[in-house]
Amino acid sequence: MQPTFSSYLLHILSTMFVLLPLPVSPELLTLKQSLGNGNNNNPSSFPPNFLFGTASSAYQYEGGYLSDGKGLNNWDVYTHRPGKVIDGSNGDVAVDHYHRYLVNLLRIHVGFCTALDFAYFADICFKSFGDRVKYWVTFNEPNFQVKFGYREGTFPPSRCSFPFGNCTSGDSEKEPFIAAHNIILSHAAAVHIYRSKYEAKQGGSIGIVINAAWFEPISSSMADKLAAERAQCFTTNWFLDPIVFGIYPPEMQSILGSILPEFSKTEKEMLKKGLDFIGINHYSSYYVQDCMFTACEPGTRTSKTEGLWAQSYQKNGIPIGESRLNLFAMQTDVDWLYVYPGGMEKIITYVKKRFNNTPMIITENGYGEVTKANSTIEDSLQDVNRAKYMAGYLDSLSTAIRKGADVRGYFAWSLLDNFEWEYGFTRRFGLHHVDFKTLKRTPKFSATWYKNFIAESKIPDS
């Protein structure tokens, strides 16, 4: 039996938010001026029709565990197993978006066994919502779904094998590639249905969202440069190459051989015209060291089936992005997120060159903070570092656009503090603070800053 996988459909433009004035300290009142010293860091650096917004997620927001006939999804089952979420929480209530807001069509999380099942589901969505939805995404971060669900076992369906993780069943060396192959074929099936039945009448666009980190060679050696390219091939290009070119990256084919499934002629034909835009979720950057020609300590990504490269957040003891001259050099206390605004321009430029400047949308980009026992609500509301992070990454994005990248929009993660997967409620990414006991929403400083940034980007009609 083939592994099942999580799938997502996203209407990226249905996010709405209301921002209220927030009293701020004198330091924060001068933040906007201090962030505006760069050549490109202003709203006018973006095209007139550029889309700004925030991103949300059904399971992380909605709650409504079994409301109105809802069935169980894989995260409902997974989070009710002891020890799967670090604070023991789940999304039964989340931030109760289902009961507090009637219109909530952001993401639908369900499980499918075959591409045919997914195509049937997509057909229903296109038919039911296509008159209102103009941007469709078939899958959100499939590269992370297969990595955590089938290699490390920290996402549902929690399948893995030693030494990658501790699961009751699974094969970390093979199943990620089977699941990925099925996702790619499911995407192609959904796109085929949209093109043949709905596109002409509805006039929408369809794409896929990939979590795309930037990988910086840790040295100028050719081995490390090739390792950085392999890192992109085994993460981002793993899914985009088949959808755009009809084949897996050559680097993956060379290393994996028969482990990597093949596409039939019919499937390759179906993959043509596989997307209208690429969604990019970008948060962080990392250094990469070669493990193909150089001995590396055993660990994540150093194995053959992961591409033979090692990831590090620092070089010579200095975290990536740190510099005395870098205004935005500040590290988060989220263990996987390292602040390097320049990585945004680099990953966008990379995708532009590799995929013929296919239109892109930044579907997620955000700054996380760990909830501390002694922190106050006021500490959370005065989130100066989040505003700095957004300003730095928006500045880097505007540079990429100025150099020719076809980027159509930017969506901050996230509208609200929410349930952050295996971290539960211990990580806050929201522009609005949520009291998880009362579920009261309060805008943070970053929400006001972002509101003003968007307002100033609007060019009056002549």
Strands 360-364 and 277-281 turn out to be: parallel
CB-based contact 365:305 (threshold 8 Å): no
Residue 286, strand partner residues: 215
Q: Given 62, 141, 229, 251, which residue is catalytic?
A: 141
C-alpha to C-alpha distance for 392 and 366, rounded to whole angstroms:
11
Residues 6+ apart with CB under 8 A from 388: 31, 35, 327, 328, 330
* φ, ψ at 364 (rounded to 5°): -150, 140
At residue 180, the 3 state secondary structure works out as: helix
420 is a catalytic site residue: no
State the distance between the two ends of the chain, measured CA to CA, in whole angstroms.
61
At residue 142, the 3 state secondary structure works out as: helix
422 is a catalytic site residue: no
Q: Considering only the C-alpha atoms of the chain, give the largest distance between any 2 of them, rounded to a whole number of Å.
A: 64
The DSSP annotation for 398-430 comes to: HHHHHTT--EEEEEES-SB----GGGTTSEE--
Residue 215, strand partner residues: 286
Q: Where on the phi/psi map is residue 18: left (φ > 0), alpha (ψ -120 to 50), or beta?
A: beta
Q: Which of 178, 147, 151, 176 is nearest to 162 (CA)?
A: 151
Burial 413-449 (b: 16+ CB within 10 A, else e): bbbbbbbbbebbbbbbbbbbbbebeebebbbbbbbbb
Q: Given 62, 175, 251, 364, which residue is catalytic?
A: 364
CB-based contact 285:341 (threshold 8 Å): no
Six-digit token string for 439: 């579920």
CB-based contact 12:137 (threshold 8 Å): yes
C-alpha to C-alpha distance for 83 and 268, rounded to whole angstroms:
42
CB-based contacts of 218-223 (< 8 A; 24+ apart in sequence):
218/287, 218/288, 218/289, 218/312, 218/315, 219/289, 221/290, 223/290, 223/292, 223/293, 223/294
Sheet harboring 10-11: ordered strands across? Answer: 10-11, 135-140, 205-211, 277-281, 360-364, 407-412, 51-54
Place of tokens 């931030």: 95
Q: Burial, 316: exposed, middle or buried (Cβ in 10 Å; 0-12, 13-18, 19+)?
A: exposed
* CA–CA–CA angle 282, 288, 294 (5° rounding): 160
Active site residues: 141, 364
